[in-house]
Chain A
Amino acid sequence: MSPVKIVVKRREKLSRKVKALYTAVAILVSFLIAAPIVAALGINPILFYKYLIVGSFAPYSIPLTIINLIPVALCCISAIVSFRAGLWNIGQDGQYIMGAVFLLWIASLIPNVPPPLSYVLVVILGGIAGGAWCLICGVLRAYTEANEAVTTLMMLYIASSILNYLCYGPWRSSIGFPETFPLPQNYQLPNIGPITSAIIALAVLTFLAWLILDRTRLGLEMSILAEGTRVIDYIGLRYRRLICIVMFLSGFYAGAAGSLYLSYAAKFLEPGFIAYYGFSGIIAAWLCELKVEYSILASLLLAALYSSSYTMQATLNIPSYMIDALEGLLLICILLVHFFTRYRVEIRFISSSSKSSRK
């Protein structure tokens, strides 16, 4: 026996304030760990921190942060919807692509829809395509029990192959770059002042998600589903149908993120359209502890990382993948918070007398 014994015990529920404090510390710690990595790239960490703040929250950076906030927040809600039900949709990026692809296709067929209606179509078309893409995995999970975490990931690669195919193949409209034709003017969401009007869509969709998850029977059924399909069976609910509904809803939000981003920011598709907002959304979902009401706040932090990564790439020549490393660190630190708020670690020193008595 080693003289030190580490005991892990479940602890009482912590107050919200203490949890918030722990989370704040985790965010700071993850940023501090980033310093040596940045230094390894040959960049002054002080400059790194400076641009991290300036690049996201300086007055001229705020519109860019908002542009990134919308897809991150919608992917965050998409993750919340599925995680709450104990389902692991982690292919938000695939649904995001399919939402945008479907919108561009339909919009090119009917380009003359008048504006207020076309804006609604942006959300609905994208959402339906994303939902359908995710529903494939939902159906497979419900009827064959294929692990949805793996299938949604695989579907992400299939979606990105489709995106590449369209950009290099039938939809290519520029000779120099693999870019598609632009989205028809009627479908492009306008700006209100410096900020995009898609923020209204985000507000409405977030409110709807909160309503569904926290105020309806469906939301309650979803949280029961998380306890296991057998429980749902005992209550007499049709869990297969419920799995399909949850996966569709989850995909809907990720798909809407893609179509909205195409509509207010990207305007056309290119292989670089996939910006991995989905993974950031998953981190945000974990950061806000799967609570829709805090999702925008959590997503704001991730969106800020995105917009500062553009600034840092331009000014400090930091590769954009650096931000992924930072996001990974952030998620690990948040996970540690989850552990330390749920469990208490006790280190016991076993004295030599008790050690001998045990023998």
Chain B
Amino acid sequence: MRFLIIVNGILERATVYLLATEGSLIVQRAGLLNLGIEGFFAIAALVAYAVAVYSGNIVLAFIAAAVSALAFNMIFTVLTVHLRLNHIVSGLAVSMLGLGLSYSLGVSLVGIPLPSSISMPIVNVLGLELDPMILMSIIVAVLLWYLLYRTKLGYQIRIVGENPHVADRLGVPIDKVRYIATAIEGVLVGLGAAYYSLVVIPEWSTGVTLGKGWLAIALAMFSLWHPIYAIGGSYLIACSDSLARVLPLLGVPVSPYLLYALPYVLTIAALSIVSYVEIKKKRLGIPTALAKVYSREERARKYT
């Protein structure tokens, strides 16, 4: 029984990571390094929780979270795509605004439990009782793979991330493609954040989402920017995450505080290996133009 609870915990956390990672992955593929994800993850988690508490409708909560994340992410998109500002600093600004807003406005929700009407329906797949979101996150991964590698839009997203100047010559509407990518990111991260605050945690406290958004960025890199590999990456990190809670329960003398660092250590190690393999001329998925500001008129200035 205890084993099932642990497995369920891993599945739930992996779902959050997977949705957020898929979101981050698609904008990175379009050449945007969106550090603002931390901010709108927090915003969406709060909106989902607030809507759930006041309306008692779980579907409404998920929709509200996706819409709010989408809207909030547009700040980043305007700053980087139209105003050609630095991705990292713009992302940090959006993050700070999002974290600040969600934790100061969310103070009134601390300690308020979710109404009993908020629970996920259960579907029976091959004798296993699963949450539909767990299945949906995997379907999303497959759909994104199809989108990236089998459709025109996916091709456009990849070439914009690879070399926006070439994309421009080919007539790809760069700004529009980047908008679509950030919109997809907003919706996916919003759903992941809602699932996190409504199902995984399910309570609201200050600082509850800290680090989750930024971990998704690293996870996308860890997964070689490939939607299918992201499934493996998310489940691996979710497993290491659950070690921190499970090992002390089993009486293993390891400090949980050190185990909390494990996902981050793994991510740094993997990111380094992946980047190293990439510079040894093995083609992986790294978007070459990641975090580079694109400005049509200033070609000579940006590429040396």
Contacts and interface: CB of A to CB of B under 8 A. Distances in A.
Contact of B93 (A150, A162, A328): A328
Given A146-B271, A149-B33, A227-B304, A154 B83 contact: no
Contacts of A168: 255, 257
Contacts, number: 164
Contacts of A339: 83-85
A228 B304 contact: yes
Interface in A144-175: 144-147, 149-151, 153-155, 157-158, 161-162, 164-165, 168-169
Contacts of B95: 328
Contacts of B70: none
Nearest to B79: A335
Given A41-B104, A41-B105, A161-B260, A335 B275 contact: no
Contacts of A90: 35, 88, 92
A329 to B, nearest CB: 6
B173 interface: no
Nearest to B244: A161
A40 interface: yes
Interface in B69-110: 75, 79, 82-86, 88-90, 92-105, 107
Interface residues of B, number: 57
Given A149-B88, A282-B92, A328-B93, A321 B257 contact: no
Nearest to B262: A161
A231 to B, nearest CB: 6
A40 B79 CA distance: 26
Contacts of A140: 268, 271-272
Contacts of B117: none
Given A149-B88, A328-B39, A335-B93, 7 more contacts: A8-B84, A144-B279, A146-B274, A162-B257, A319-B107, A332-B75, A332-B79
29 contacts: A8-B84, A41-B104, A90-B35, A143-B276, A145-B278, A146-B271, A146-B276, A147-B221, A149-B35, A154-B268, A155-B268, A157-B261, A158-B268, A162-B261, A227-B304, A279-B92, A282-B92, A283-B93, A321-B206, A322-B104, A324-B96, A324-B97, A324-B104, A325-B96, A325-B97, A328-B95, A331-B93, A332-B90, A332-B94
Interface of A: 8-10, 37, 40-41, 88, 90, 140, 143-147, 149-151, 153-155, 157-158, 161-162, 164-165, 168-169, 227-228, 230-231, 279, 282-283, 286, 318-319, 321-329, 331-332, 335-336, 338-339, 343
Q: List 8 A-B pairs, minimum CB-CB distance, nearest first.
A: A325-B100, A328-B97, A324-B100, A328-B96, A161-B261, A331-B93, A321-B103, A165-B257
Interface of B: 33, 35, 39, 75, 79, 82-86, 88-90, 92-105, 107, 206, 211, 214-215, 217-218, 221, 255, 257-258, 260-261, 264-265, 267-268, 271-276, 278-279, 290-291, 297-298, 304
